Amino acid sequence: MKYWSAFSWIVVVALGLSACGRDSGPTLRRYREIATDSSIHAGHSHGDPSSEMAQMREAASGMSDMTAPGAPAVTTANAPVSWTTPEGWIEQTGNPMRIATFLVGEEKAECTLTAFPGSVGGIEENLQRWAGQINLKVAPETLSKFARAPQTFKTEGDFPCLVYDFSTVAPDSDPSMLAAILSLEDRTLFVKLTGSRALLAEQKEAFTALCRSLRP
C-alpha cells in the first residue's frame, strides 16, 4: 500500500508541474524583420517563408473562381502545370505531392490533382488500386479490358490524357470514381474525382474540362 501512496504523490507532483507548464495566455512578442516587398497578394511571392504558403494563397485566390466562373487559371509554384477551375468547384490547399484539391458539388466530393515522379506503376495497377478505394471488385480480364478503353484526348498543354469512368465497368457502384492519367516526360499527373454516382454523372463534363485545361 505504501507504494501506492508514493505513486499518488508522484502523480500529484507531476500534475502540478503540468499545470505550471501551461500557458497563462497569449503574450505579446516584439521583433524586427526585413520587409520583403514581394507582395503577399502576388501570385508567386519571392518573400515566401515556405512553398506551402504560396500554395495557401493560391488556394485562397483560387476560391475567387467560385464567384467568377472562367476566372484566370491558377498555377502553383511547386507544380509546373496550370489549369482552369471549373465553375462551381472550390479549390483547396495543395501540398508537395497533391498539387490541388477541389471540392465539388453540394456533397463536397473531393477531386485531387497529384503528381508523382516517373510512371508510377502501370495503368492496370493504378486502376486496380483505385477500384479498391471505392470497394469495387473487378475481375482481372474486365480490368484489363477497361484499361485499354479510356477516353483519350490531348489537353491544352498537349499532354496526352486518359480518362477512366468507373461507372462504365461497374454501373451500379456507388460511390464511383472518375480518374485521369497524364504521362508527362518526367512525371505522371493523376486527376481523381470520387463521389456519389449521381454527382459524378452530373460533374463528368466539368471533370473533363478540368483535364482538358491542364497545361504547362
**CA neighbor of 113 nearest in space, from 133, 83, 87:** 83
Q: Which is nearer to another protein, 72 or 80 (CB)?
A: 80
Q: Which is nearer to another protein, 35 or 139 (CB)?
A: 35
**Applying CB under 8 A, which residues contact another protein?**
2-3, 5-6, 9-10, 13-15, 17-18, 21, 23, 25-36, 38, 40-41, 44, 46-53, 56-57, 59-61, 63-64, 66-67, 75, 77-78, 80, 90, 92-93, 95, 117-118, 186-187, 216
Taking the complex as a whole, how short is the minimal distance between the CB of residue 199 and another protein, in angstroms?
Answer: 19
Taking the complex as a whole, how short is the minimal distance between the CB of residue 197 and another protein, in angstroms?
Answer: 25
**Eight-state DSSP code of residue 184:** -
Q: Which is nearer to another protein, 79 or 131 (CB)?
A: 79
How close are the terminal C-alpha atoms of the chain, in Å?
Answer: 73
Query: In Å, how far are 11, 23, 24, 155 from 20, measured between CA atoms?
Result: 14, 8, 9, 60
Three-class DSSP category at 105: coil
Query: In Å, how far are 20, 21, 31, 121 from 25, measured between CA atoms?
Result: 13, 12, 19, 51
Taking the complex as a whole, how short is the minimal distance between the CB of residue 105 and another protein, in angstroms?
Answer: 14
Taking the complex as a whole, how short is the minimal distance between the CB of residue 144 and another protein, in angstroms?
Answer: 29
Tell me the sheet residues that pair with 100: 113
Taking the complex as a whole, how short is the minimal distance between the CB of residue 108 and another protein, in angstroms?
Answer: 9
Taking the complex as a whole, how short is the minimal distance between the CB of residue 147 and another protein, in angstroms?
Answer: 25
Residue type, 49: P
- State the Cα–Cα distance between residues 97 and 4, nearest whole angstrom: 51
Q: Which is nearer to another protein, 75 or 167 (CB)?
A: 75
Helix axes 123-133, 140-147, angle to 10 degrees: 120
Q: Which is nearer to another protein, 172 or 185 (CB)?
A: 185
Report the DSSP pairing between strands 160-165 and 82-83.
Answer: unpaired
CA atoms within 13 A on the CB side of 28: 1
Grid coordinates belonging to 8: 499518488
Q: Which is nearer to another protein, 141 or 185 (CB)?
A: 185
